[in-house]
Amino acid sequence: MREAYIHGDTRVLILTTFEIDEYVAQALRAGASGFLGKDVTADVLLDGIRAVAAGDTLLSPTATRTLITRFLAAPAPGSRLATPERLTTLTTREREVMALVADGLSNDEIAEKLYVSPLTVRTHVHRAMTKLGARDRAQLVVMAYQSGLAQVLPPQRAGP
């Protein structure tokens, strides 16, 4: 991936064939707001564009898993952002939403799954971030994995 930096209020959603953790990390460091694999449906792509345009950060489930796996494989001593005890400040619904964010779901997808409005989901995400001191959605995902709320699952094997 060529090194580039994003200027000002520009929002960038990367659509790529290669959901390699280093590419995701480079894109995020350069200021990208989202990262999706090219195999997404048109509806998911449109939802991603809307989410990024609204100021949200969006990572595909694959990109989320690879980044979290990499992060958890080599955490710095004492750098743990969240323990299971810290999550006691969250409501049951906030923990549920946080887990779905960690699974890589967008606010619209979470809303559909929980039968609530996207605005309600956004409120739960914001409250969880505020209570835990997370600066952004990506840090909330890291906290979900570090606390054990979300777990890295082994890749699913395709067919027999």
In the prediction, which pLDDT does 2 show?
Answer: 47
Task: Give 91's pLDDT tier (boundaries 50, 70, 90).
Answer: very high
Q: Which two tokens stand for residue 106?
A: 């967008």
In the prediction, which pLDDT does 77 show?
Answer: 55
The whole domain housing 121 covers 13-147
- Domain membership of residue 1 (yes or no) is no
Run of H or E residues at 16: strand 13-16
Minimum mean pLDDT among 8-12, 42-46, 57-61, 67-71: which range? 67-71
Q: How far apart are CA 5 and CA 117, in angstroms?
A: 34
- Domain membership of residue 28 (yes or no) is yes
Mean residue pLDDT of the chain comes to: 80
Sign of torsion over alpha carbons 37, 42, 48, 49: positive
- Domain membership of residue 152 (yes or no) is no
pLDDT digit string, tens, across residues 23-44: 777 777 777 888 888 888 898 8
- Domain membership of residue 160 (yes or no) is no
Q: How far apart are CA 22 and CA 118, in angstroms?
A: 31
- Domain membership of residue 119 (yes or no) is yes
Looking at residue 88, the DSSP 8-state letter turns out to be G
Q: What is the CATH number of the domain that holds 42?
A: 1.10.10.10
Whole-model pTM over 0.95: no
Domain count, the chain: 1
Q: Is 45 exposed, middle or buried (0-12, 13-18, 19+ CB in 10 A)?
A: middle
Looking at residue 155, the DSSP 8-state letter turns out to be P
